[in-house]
Amino acid sequence: MPKGLFRFLALLACHLACLGKTAEGQIVISRHFPGREGTTVLCWSIPEERAGYQSQIVVFQTDTEGAAKLLWQSPLDNSYAPQIRFMEKITAQGLPLALVERQTGAASSQLDVIGKVAGRIVRLLQIDGFKFDVEHLEGSKLPFIIAHTDASVLDVPDIYRWNGGRFVQDSAAHPDYYRQRLAEDKSALPDDSSGVVLVNLARIAVLSGDRAEAKTILKDALSRERSKGDEANEETLRLIDKALRALEPSQHPQDENPHQKM
């Protein structure tokens, strides 16, 4: 092993040893950027008594003699079980984007998108969810990131599009995707679904372009909650009422946001 790279990895090992008393549960994974054998993204996680887990992402470069140079590192995070993949069809200044996913809980994860801007490695995006897909939608040339955001209630995914320099929220531009989800979710949901589940279903209906269907879903949710009498949840009633008011015609249509969380 080249001496420069050996010293770099030795320093990393010492750092991990200082953070944790035991090697049990420690994970270190690394992958070369496609087409850039000398540029590597590495992520480690280690059990920590107070925080549960600590983790960090490191990007470094090795030259022909094996000397390692640190290009970027993230702050310490309370996360674990890292995974690394690349979006090879999207490059920033010639470098494919790296996606590092780490769990932050039993049903929650965090995704970091790392790329190159103005000659420097940076974090381009950090989003929370429980699952992250990379997909082509509606015949697009470039893939989108789809963040599934709720593992406990009905999931309303967020869609992110690469605009040439960064990822931007693009959910409202894909009614066909949400129209399909609406049909699938309506078919799969139990007949007695209520509360937040139906509020999220209404959000999907709005993103599909069917505001009338969203209003019907919310009125049904309101009726079901009120039918519980004294056992009706006041917070749920307020949530449904807020969602209904968000569907009322705006005096300033340009201010309406179809992805607004109701």
CATH code, domain with 10: 2.40.128.460
pLDDT level of residue 6 (50, 70, 90 thresholds): very low
**pLDDT exceeds 60 at position 2:** no
Residue 52 within any structural domain of the chain: yes
Residue 200 within any structural domain of the chain: no
pLDDT at residue number 256: 54
pLDDT at residue number 64: 82
What's the CA angle centered on 149, arms 79 and 168, to 5 degrees? 95
Residue 23 within any structural domain of the chain: yes
Mean pLDDT of 135-145: 94
Q: What are the phi and psi torsion angles at 35 (to 5°)?
A: 80, 0
Question: Rounded CA gap, 6 and 100, in Å?
Answer: 24
Percent residues over pLDDT 90 in the chain: 76
**pLDDT exceeds 60 at position 205:** yes
Residue 252 within any structural domain of the chain: no
**pLDDT exceeds 60 at position 258:** no
CB atoms closer than 10 angstroms to residue 145: 25
Residue 26 near residue 46, CB atoms below 8 Å: yes
pLDDT at residue number 5: 47
When mean pLDDT is compared across 20-24, 43-47, 63-67, 167-171, the lowest value belongs to 20-24
**pLDDT exceeds 60 at position 59:** yes
pLDDT at residue number 155: 96
The domain of 27 spans: 1-129
When mean pLDDT is compared across 11-25, 57-71, 110-124, 149-163, the lowest value belongs to 11-25
Segments of the chain assigned E as strands: 27-33, 36-48, 52-62, 68-73, 80-92, 95-105, 108-117, 120-129, 131-135, 144-148, 158-162, 167-169
User: In the chain, which ranges are continuous DSSP H helix?
Assistant: 3-19, 175-188, 196-207, 211-226, 234-246
pLDDT at residue number 254: 53
pLDDT at residue number 138: 87
Residue 17 within any structural domain of the chain: yes
Percent residues over pLDDT 70 in the chain: 85
How many separate domains does the chain show? 1
